[in-house]
A and B are shown apart, each in its own frame.
Chain A
Amino acid sequence: MTQEKSWKPWALLSPALTAVFFFLVVPTLFVIVYSFWLRAPTGQDIPAFQFSNYAKFFADMFYPGLLIRTIRVALEAVALSLIMGYIPAYFFSQTKSKHKNMLIILILLPFWVSFIIRAMSWINILGDTGLINYVLLKLHIIANPISMLYNEGSVLMGLVQFLLPFMILNIYVSLEGIDKNLVPAAKSLGCTEWQAFKEVTLPLSLPGVSAGSLLVFVLAAGTYLPPMILGGPQNAMMANMVFKRVIGTLDWPFGSAISVILLVLIGLIVYAYNRYLGISQIFKSLS
Chain B
Amino acid sequence: MNNSIVQLRNVVKRFDDVLAVEKMDLDIEEGTLVTLLGPSGCGKTTILRMIAGLEDCSEGDIYIKGKRVNDVPVHKRNLGMIFQDYALFPHKTIYDNVAFGLKYRDVSKAEIKKRVTRALETVRLPGVEFRKPAQLSGGQQQRIALARAIVIEPDVLLMDEPLSALDENLREEMRQEVDNLQSELGITTIFVTHDQREALSMSDNIIVMKDGLKQQEGGPEEVYDAPVNHFVADFLGHCNFYACRILGRENGLLKVEVADGKTLYSEHDEGWDVGKELELLVRAQKIEVVARGDTIPDTEVNIFDGIVKSRMYMGGEAWYFVELQDGTVVHAISISREFPFRDKDAVTLHIPPRHCRLIPKET
A: residues with CB less than 8 A from B are 179, 181-182, 184-192, 195, 199-200, 203-204
Q: Which of B80, B87, B152 has the most CB of A within 10 A?
A: B87
- Name the segment of B63-71, B100-108, B189-197 touching the other chain: B100-108
In the complex, the answer to whether A190 meets B75 with C-beta atoms within 8 Å is yes
Number of B residues near A (Cβ < 8 Å) is: 25
Are the C-beta atoms of A199 and B89 separated by less than 8 Å? yes
* Contact flag A181-B85 (CB < 8 Å), given A187-B74, A192-B75, A203-B91: yes
The 9 A-B pairs with the shortest beta carbon distances in the complex, nearest first, are: A190-B104, A189-B101, A181-B87, A188-B81, A187-B74, A185-B87, A181-B83, A190-B75, A184-B54
Nearest-neighbour CB distance to chain A for B157, whole angstroms, equals: 10
Q: Does B90 contact A (CB under 8 A)?
A: yes
Enumerate chain B residues within 8 angstroms of A184, measured Cβ to Cβ.
49, 52, 54, 74, 81, 83, 87
Question: Assuming the A-B contacts A181-B87, A200-B89, are A188 and B104 also in contact, with contact meaning beta carbons closer than 8 angstroms in the complex?
Answer: no
CA distance A179 to B134 in the complex (A): 14
The interface residues of chain A, by DSSP majority, are classed as helix
CB atoms of B101 and A190 under 8 A apart: yes
Min Cβ gap A191→B in Å is 6
Q: Decide if B79 is an interface residue (CB 8 Å cutoff).
A: yes
Query: What are 24 A-B contacts with C-beta separation under 8 Å?
Result: A179-B85, A179-B87, A179-B90, A181-B83, A181-B85, A184-B49, A184-B54, A184-B87, A185-B83, A186-B89, A187-B54, A187-B73, A188-B54, A188-B74, A188-B77, A188-B158, A190-B104, A190-B105, A190-B152, A191-B104, A192-B73, A195-B75, A204-B90, A204-B91
Q: How far is the CB of B88 from chain A (nearest CB, A)?
A: 8
Which positions 184-231 of chain B face chain A at CB distance < 8 Å?
A: none
Instruction: Let me know if B148 is at the binding interface, CB within 8 A.
Output: yes
Is the beta-carbon distance between B91 and A187 smaller than 8 angstroms? no
A186 touches B100 (CB 8 A): yes
With a CB–CB cut-off of 8 A, which chain A residues contact B103? 190
A195 near B52 (CB under 8 angstroms)?
A: no
Closest to A195 in B: B104
- Kindly supply a per-residue 1/0 record for chain B positions 297-308, scoring 1 wherever the CB is within 8 Å of any chain A CB and 0 otherwise: 000000000000
Give the Cβ gap from A123 to chain B, nearest Cβ, in Å: 46
Which residues of A are found within 8 Å of B49, using beta-carbon distances?
184
Give min CB distance, B177 to chain A, whole Å: 20
Contacts of B75 in A (CB 8 A): 187-192, 195
Question: Which residues of A lie under 8 Å from residue B100 when comparing CB positions?
Answer: 186, 189, 199
